[in-house]
Amino acid sequence: RDMIAIVDYGMGNLWSVEKAFRKMGYAVSVTRDGDEIARADAMVLPGVGAFGDCVRSLEELGLNEPIVRHIDDGTRFLGLCLGSQVLVERSEESPGMRGLGVFEGGVVKFSADSGGLKIPHMGWNNVRILKRAPHLRGVADGAHAYFVHSYYVECDLRELAATSTEYGDEFASSVWRDNVFATQFHPEADSDGFAVRIGIYRNSGYFAPRDADRLIKMCHAANVHAPQMILKNFVNKYRRG
């Protein structure tokens, strides 16, 4: 089986990400070992917290180079929330701190006059599909996803964004290029976005396509809002063959 490395740099929602993958029956290693990350078949970089703290932790643990090498080698990469922001070069949140530089550009804060909306942006919101990235196959345009953030990746939506979301400003809620897919939202915490979770994980190569498509259709047909139960039922059946 493919080994999925979840990068442990001392911050982030590691438990919920690990749990989501294990519930689907995948081999997961939560690790801060650079060699293990470089050898992994796929890598997940989660994150909750500040840009500067994340970058500093990655540097202190010597993980910057293995992560960038993993991406440059064409190996599957999935960034979640802060794990998407550190892919760019800089952030208004932490002036002077340099990100991984996988993508050009920076991270900016929601404007204070965003229509009277509260910052941080927290809760369920729609994602509008701009590009049919393979990770989004089977995901409905306008599906709901869960957000907790005050900053977002500023980019040309036509160039890098796979989905966008409105919160005062229209921002890139996911970015995609080649083997790299990263979301500002939390697919591991999804609700009626069952299709978002299954679609992204399946199309990242972590999920059997035929079984995933069947479950997505079941979800839409039944309007299911309990992805954990469906995932559990799927994994039990999948393990029996």
pLDDT of 101-121, one tens digit each?
999 999 999 986 666 788 899
| pLDDT the model gives residue 201 | 59
Cα–chain center distance at 161: 13
In the predicted model, is pLDDT for residue 191 greater than 50? Answer: no
Amino acid symbol at 228: Q
pLDDT of 13-64, one tens digit each?
788 888 877 877 778 899 999 999 888 888 889 988 899 999 999 999 999 9
Q: What is the pTM of this model?
A: 0.79
In the predicted model, is pLDDT for residue 233 greater than 60? Answer: no
Q: Does the active-site annotation cover 188?
A: yes
Query: Per the residue annotation, which of 121, 144, 149, 186 is the catalytic one?
Result: 186
In the predicted model, is pLDDT for residue 72 greater than 90? Answer: yes
| Choice among 24-28, 157-161, 189-193 with the minimum mean pLDDT | 189-193
Q: Distance between CA atoms of 112 and 96, rounded to whole angstroms?
A: 22
| Choice among 139-153, 181-195, 220-234 with the minimum mean pLDDT | 220-234
pLDDT of 202-223, one tens digit each?
566 554 556 556 655 555 543 3
Query: Per the residue annotation, which of 93, 144, 188, 219 is the catalytic one?
Result: 188
| pLDDT the model gives residue 99 | 96
H-assigned helices in the chain: 14-23, 34-39, 51-60, 64-72, 82-85, 194-201, 209-222, 227-239
Q: Minimal CA–CA distance to 199: which of 146, 141, 134, 155?
A: 134
In the predicted model, is pLDDT for residue 240 greater than 50? Answer: no
| pLDDT the model gives residue 98 | 96
* Confidence category of residue 153, pLDDT binned at 50, 70, 90: very high
Query: Per the residue annotation, which of 18, 54, 81, 219 is the catalytic one?
Result: 81
Q: Distance between CA atoms of 25 and 234, rounded to whole angstroms?
A: 9
Expressed in angstroms, the distance from the first to the final Cα of the chain is: 14
**42-45 and 121-126: which strand pairing?**
unpaired
Bridge partners of 90?
106
In the predicted model, is pLDDT for residue 230 greater than 60? Answer: no
Q: Does the active-site annotation cover 186?
A: yes
In the predicted model, is pLDDT for residue 125 greater than 90? Answer: no
In the predicted model, is pLDDT for residue 193 greater than 70? Answer: no
